[in-house]
Amino acid sequence: MGKIAFVFSGQGSQYPGMGKTIREASEVAKAVFRVSEDKRPGTTAQCFEGTKEELALTVNTQPCLYTVDLAIAEAVKESGIVPDAVAGFSLGEVAALTFSGVMSREEGFELVIQRGRLMNDAAQANPGAMAAVMRLTPEQVTDLAGEFDVWPVNYNSPLQTVVAGTENRMPDFLAAVKAQKGMAVPLKVSGAFHSPCMAPASEGLKEALKSVTYDRGWCPVYANATAKPYPQDPKEAKELTALQVKSPVQWQKTIETMVEEGFTTFIEVGAGKTLTGLIQKIAPQVTAIHIENAEDLEKEELHELRK
């Protein structure tokens, strides 16, 4: 049997009611929610009862989604499935680092609170926009973006690349995509995430990370910025975590690297199934499963992995 990876959902996959049945079904998931609630009262209510608009605010999205991602991952592990490595998409990388033991649940939660605030502040100071580009290769998108104040920021799959840029230049870029027979969909986000516009947030995270204890963890964590496992040196690892918010998410390259290194099963833990869909496009030969509620824990594919 090949290796198993957990992949943690990123911002944009959140929805009202996420994580509720997992919390009810798993003691370890309850413990994750308890830490978040102790540190930030109202987090549980936001996950279960918050409106779509409330959850879309970066300062709410990040602590809520981190909690749900981590709770689901712990519940899957509790059920008898232990991954050989993990990776997380953007925000999901902090949950992956916490799950792997690089930092404690308390430290991870406090970090995402600060991460959400810093990214929101940077977005307010440097207004930007984002769009998902389809039907063009990553190379085509990169070349086209270079003609505008636009940067590729999420290399999601062979035919989907997300870009970020200044609000005044994005319309021209979208028109250029259409002229090249591509399709671009503007995203409802509050800033140009994973672009140079997030430089202030990156600097703020460097400062915040000084008080976080980074351990080696019990399994490798593949990094968004490098598509390679996190370095074991704590100083280098912290630098990479801070760099991540202003660097492109190399998701396609990450999955391709993991497949080359023997991973054949990817379990998406968190809200929605965006990553499952991307993995199926990147590496259709592997098994991709999403787990987001208590019922999903009973999927037949998981029973096979527990044998």
Confidence band for 305, pLDDT divided at 50, 70 and 90:
confident
Q: How many helices (H) and strands (E) does the chain have?
A: 14, 9
Q: What is the pLDDT of residues 2-52, one digit of tens each?
A: 999 999 999 989 999 999 999 999 999 999 999 999 999 999 999 999 999
Catalytic residue among 13, 36, 157, 194: 194
Per-residue b or e along 224-247, where b marks 16 or more CB atoms closer than 10 Å to that residue's CB: bbbbebbbeeeeebbbbbbbbbbb
CA gyration radius, the chain: 18
Adjacent-strand bridge partners of 288: 266
Catalytic annotation on 194? yes
Q: Could you give the residue range(s) of every CATH 3.30.70.250 domain in the chain?
A: 127-186
Is 90 noted as a catalytic residue in this protein?
Answer: yes
Task: State the pLDDT at residue 307.
Answer: 63
Half-sphere exposure of 243 (CA within 13 A, CB side): 14
Q: Of these residues, 9, 26, 90, 100, which one is catalytic?
A: 90
Q: Which CATH class is domain 127-186?
A: alpha beta
Quick one: pLDDT at residue 188? Answer: 82
CATH number for the domain running over 3-124+196-305: 3.40.366.10
Q: Strand 263-269 relative to strand 287-291: parallel, antiparallel, unpaired?
A: parallel
Residue intervals of the chain classified under CATH 3.40.366.10 are: 3-124+196-305
